[in-house]
């Protein structure tokens, strides 16, 4: 398997993992149900563990993309933005998957404990990291999409990929800053489905024989201008 195909496979795998995470992500209301707490808490930790594992997989795939496509300055800037967002999403996943669950377990074990203050604090912590992640990933997608539109990219459907990435990122930022999308489970699910779809499409383009920078397609574009 070529380096480009491996990078594409990582993006597809990471995109699928993101969809699985958001598809099975329990709500706070479900976690607060005492009767089903044990099962829901386990699901919560598993899906957030998968999210943590998927983050470096996506980053490694995007590293391959940044080495493949033209306009290396834009690609590297996009990779840096994604890396910044990846750190934030790791923190958000830790807060939501493990800190929040741990707080609930501790409260359940202590009679008379008031959960509200702890849960509000943990939720605000999670939301802060999630907001940083959303903005950073949208900026990273915009920069990488602009790089994909370069003439030296030679990816299948490069124009459609680039335009779609820019449009999706702009829509996400507009909806977020206008307050039309909240970063609860439902809002995050909507955003991640679009982002995961674009990443998987980019991965498929990298896996395509037309998209790979093999010797049959000529030398790779240089890593610096």
Residue range 55-66, pLDDT digits in tens:
999 999 999 988
Q: What is the pLDDT of residues 3-51, one digit of tens each?
A: 889 999 999 999 999 999 999 988 877 887 878 888 998 999 999 999 9
Where does the pLDDT of residue 216 fall: very low under 50, low under 70, confident under 90, or very high at 90 and above?
very low
Domain ranges of the chain: 3-212
Q: What is the pLDDT of residues 82-140, one digit of tens each?
A: 999 999 999 889 888 888 888 888 777 776 666 676 777 778 888 889 899 999 999 99
H/E/C letters for each residue in the chain?
CCHHHHHHHHHHHHHHHHHHHHHHCCCHHHHCCCCCHHHHHHHHHHHHHHHHHHHHHHHHHHHHHHHHCCCHHHHHHHHHHHHHHHHHHHHHHHHHHHHHHHHHHHHHHCCCCCCHHHHHHHHHHHHHHHHHHHHHHHHHHHHHHHHHCCCCCCCCCHHHHHHHHHHHHHHHHHHHHCCCCCCCHHHHHHHHHHHHHHHHHHHHHHHCCCCCCCHHHCCCCCCCC
Compute the mean pLDDT over every residue in the chain, rounded to the nearest whole number. Answer: 84
Which position has the higher pLDDT, 29 or 153? 29
Q: Give the percent of the chain with pLDDT over 70.
A: 86
Q: Give the percent of the chain with pLDDT over 90.
A: 43
pLDDT > 80? residue 163:
yes
- Mean pLDDT to the nearest integer, 137-153: 86
């Amino acid at each position: 398997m070529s380096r480009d195909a491996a990078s594409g496979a990582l993006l597809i795998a990471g995109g699928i993992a993101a969809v699985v995470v958001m598809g099975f992500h329990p709500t706070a209301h479900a976690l607060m149900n005492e009767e089903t707490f044990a099962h829901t808490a386990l699901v919560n930790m598993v899906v957030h563990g998968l999210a943590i594992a998927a983050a470096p997989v996506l980053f490694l795939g995007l590293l391959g993309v940044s080495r493949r496509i033209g306009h290396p300055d834009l690609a590297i800037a996009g990779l840096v933005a994604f890396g910044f967002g990846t750190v934030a999403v790791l923190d958000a996943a830790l807060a939501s998957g493990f800190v929040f669950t741990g707080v609930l377990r501790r409260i359940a074990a202590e009679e008379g404990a008031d959960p509200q203050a702890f849960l509000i604090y943990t939720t605000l912590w999670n939301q802060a990291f999630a907001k940083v992640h959303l903005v950073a990933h949208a900026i990273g997608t915009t920069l990488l999409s602009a790089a994909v539109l370069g003439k030296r990219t030679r990816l299948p459907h490069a124009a459609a990929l680039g335009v779609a990435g820019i449009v999706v990122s702009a829509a996400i930022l507009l909806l977020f800053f206008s307050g039309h999308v909240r970063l609860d489970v439902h809002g995050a699910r909507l955003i991640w489905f679009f982002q995961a779809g674009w990443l998987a499409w980019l991965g498929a383009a990298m896996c395509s024989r037309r998209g790979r920078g093999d010797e049959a397609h000529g030398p790779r574009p240089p890593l610096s201008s």
